[in-house]
Amino acid sequence: MADSESDFQTVRLFNYKGCKMSGIHTIERLDQMENYEVRDSDVFVVTYPKSGTIWMQTILMYIFMDDDLQTGETKASFFKAPWLELSIKEINTDDRPPPRLFVTHLPYQLIPKALKNKKAKVIYVYRNPKDVAVSYYHFHKFANYLETPENFGAFLQAFLEGQVDYDSWFDHVKNWYNHREEFNIIFQSYEEMIKDLKMAVLKFCKFLGKPMDDKSVDAIVEHSTFKNMKLNPKTNYETAGFPLFNSSLPGFMRRGIIGDWKNNFTVAQNDMFNNIFQEKMNAIPLKFIWENVA
Ligand code: A3P
């Protein structure tokens, strides 16, 4: 695995305290997570990969950007709300004024213990797992630190078995949901953000204690649309580039729609997925949206 962010290797997944991890991680950083110092004013976005993380990261950046949205910010979203579990030399969060913003894919069992004091805020974004699987499949071709799958069928099998970076989607969502009482947390579905982004932004502002006038909310919504995020180098991750990613392929901002799984799943794969989903998720009352019907 990696000694530093620029030094990763495409290695087979390794097991870190029961969670499959890829070569982008360092044991040293992961070891720091359990006792990581959490401040009451901190805000964390938690997601399983490909569930809308960088979208939420961008919205969070804009909510806490007090200057004009067009001119006020010179840094990329991943600098403003950095990845908790990745140690990136240029990013030091220790001296930042409150609120410090973070994004993380860490599963419940690896999250800093201090987050359970219930003061720091957590926004957990989840997405229907068929679209997560498709998005993750394409991401494996784009990310140089992940092994390129043979085909979608092979990847889907690995996804269902949790043989991917950050392990099982099912465990991630279930564990965070089942332990929700331990945190100051709200749950947000990716699809509801697509359907009504303004409502979602208003919900975030309320939870974060950051009241905003209508004009500012509208500006955040406008800057956070798929089209505008894809064009903006501060939000589209193009500056993260090589060597982590293969810049010639569609990257983080790929399609941004509900129901792309229909273009990828065979009928048999869909039946299998439905059975597994039903068995594993039937006790979880989160609402999943599988297609974009009016
Ligand atoms: P697709 O690959 O299906 O297009 P993450 O940030 O967790 O890696 O998730 C990436 C997914 O979120 C990608 O899905 C990406 O297109 C989608 N996404 C990012 N920004 C978005 C936006 N503003 N609107 C809708 N989807 C967005």
Q: What is the 3-state secondary structure (H, E, C) of 75-108?
A: CCHHHHCCECCCCCCCCCCCCCCCCCEEEECCCH
The residue behind tokens 């709300």 is 81
Mutational test site, ligand 1, from 24, 51, 55, 155, max ligand atoms within 8 Å of CB: 55
- Residues 112-138 pLDDT 10s: 999 998 899 999 999 999 999 999 999
Burial, 198: exposed, middle or buried (Cβ in 10 Å; 0-12, 13-18, 19+)?
middle
Does residue 46 carry a pLDDT above 90? yes
How sure is the predictor about 7, in pLDDT bands with cuts at 50, 70 and 90? Answer: low
**Which amino acid residue places its CA nearest to atom 8 of ligand 1?**
50
Please state the separation of Cα 2 from the chain's center in Å: 21
- What phi and psi, each to the nearest 5 degrees, are found at residue 33? -65, -45
Q: Which of 43-47, 192-196, 251-255 has the lowest mean pLDDT?
A: 251-255
- Residues 195-231 pLDDT 10s: 999 999 999 999 999 999 999 999 999 999 999 999 9
Q: What percent of the chain has pLDDT over 70?
A: 93
| Superfamily grouping for domain 5-281 | P-loop containing nucleotide triphosphate hydrolases (3.40.50.300)
Ligand 1 geometric centre to CA of 117 (Å)? 31
State residue 178's pLDDT score: 98
Residue 244 CB neighbours (<10 A): 17
Atom of ligand 1 nearest to the CA of 55: 20
How sure is the predictor about 5, in pLDDT bands with cuts at 50, 70 and 90? Answer: very low
Tokens standing for residue 275: 């059975």
77 Cβ below 6 A of ligand 1: no
Q: Is the peptide bond preceding residue 243 cis, with omega within 30 degrees of 0?
A: yes
Ligand 1 geometric centre to CA of 17 (Å)? 29
Q: Report the residue count for the chain.
A: 294
State residue 70's pLDDT score: 61
- Residues 228-265 pLDDT 10s: 999 998 898 887 776 788 877 778 899 999 999 999 99
Q: What percent of the chain has pLDDT over 90?
A: 79
Does residue 8 carry a pLDDT above 60? no
256 Cβ below 6 A of ligand 1: yes
Separation between Cα atoms, residue 182 and residue 32, nearest integer Å: 21
Separation between Cα atoms, residue 1 and residue 11, nearest integer Å: 7
Burial, 230: exposed, middle or buried (Cβ in 10 Å; 0-12, 13-18, 19+)?
middle
Separation between Cα atoms, residue 293 and residue 131, nearest integer Å: 15
The verdict on whether 179 is a catalytic residue reads no
| Domain coordinates in residue numbering, the chain | 5-281
Ligand 1 geometric centre to CA of 26 (Å)? 26
**Which amino acid residue places its CA nearest to atom 19 of ligand 1?**
55
Find, among 286, 258, 235, 181, the residue nearest to 60 by Cα: 235
